Amino acid sequence: MRSLTILEQTFGPEHPHSQVASSLNNLAELYRVQGRYSEAEPLRLRGLEIEKETLGENHPQFASSLNNLALLYESQGRTSEAEPLYLQSLQIMEQQLGADHPTTATSLNNLAELYHSQGRYGEAEPLYLQSLEILTAKLDLNHPNIQQVRKNLAILYDSMATQFKLQERYDKAVKYLEKAIALHQLAK
């Protein structure tokens, strides 16, 4: 909070600066993790507005902040508000960074997580798979983002198997959980 105050005093509230937005977003994330949602939301919205003014609506940082606001809303169960933000963020990432960029893959994973949490398994699965494909092509196979997407995909397959009683999905869940465990053990 002190660093935010210093930045605001330096640049002034009438002259928004991207460093102020970054500090607002960092503090908002801390509050989100702590479950202090009502304190996090105004900070996220203010940071987003500053980035819109200073960077523009097509900047990857603005897209990242949209994604973070969506994550906040999803954490609160406000999924109908989160989805359009995830979609907008993904669109910007694809346009600005490319469809095969690791940050785009993270956006795909986050949207898949939302769909998974809503029981929209058929929409979540291809997004997880696309995210995993991008990450395995661009990052070291021991990278934590790859492990996370594999874990998310395994959990999805387990959810699908439980929901629909499909042995094929259990087999896929086991396969991805085994890969996630193996990668986790390699990372130690």
34 and 113 together in one domain: no
**At which of 97, 128, 154 does a domain end?**
97
Of 129 and 179, more confident: 129
For residue 150, the enclosing domain spans 104-188
- Kindly provide the b/e burial profile for residues 8-41, where b requires at least 16 CB atoms within 10 angstroms of the residue's own CB: beeeeeeebbbbbbbbbbebbbebbeeeebeebb
64 and 3 together in one domain: yes
Q: Please count the structural domains in the chain.
A: 2
Q: What is the pLDDT of residue 21?
A: 85
* Secondary structure (H, E, C), the chain: CHHHHHHHHHHCCCCCCHHHHHHHHHHHHHHHHCCCHHHHHHHHHHHHHHHHHHCCCCCHHHHHHHHHHHHHHHHCCCHHHHHHHHHHHHHHHHHHHCCCCHHHHHHHHHHHHHHHHCCCHHHHHHHHHHHHHHHHHHCCCCCHHHHHHHHHHHHHHHHHHHHHCCHHHHHHHHHHHHHHHHHHHHHC
41 and 11 together in one domain: yes
Share of the chain above pLDDT 70, in %: 87
Return mean pLDDT, the chain.
Answer: 87
Q: What is the pLDDT of residue 179?
A: 75
Q: What is the pLDDT of residue 2?
A: 53
Whichever domain contains 111, its CATH number is 1.25.40.10
pTM metric for this prediction: 0.83
- Predicted confidence (pLDDT) at residue 32 exceeds the cutoff of 90: yes
- The pLDDT tens digits of the residues spanning 163-178 come to 777 777 777 777 777 7
**At which of 63, 97, 131 does a domain end?**
97
Q: How confident is the model at residue 20 (pLDDT cuts 50, 70, 90)?
A: confident
- The pLDDT tens digits of the residues spanning 101-155 come to 999 999 999 999 999 999 999 999 999 999 999 999 999 988 999 999 999 998 9
Range with lowest mean pLDDT among 20-24, 33-37, 52-56, 73-77? 20-24
84 and 109 together in one domain: no
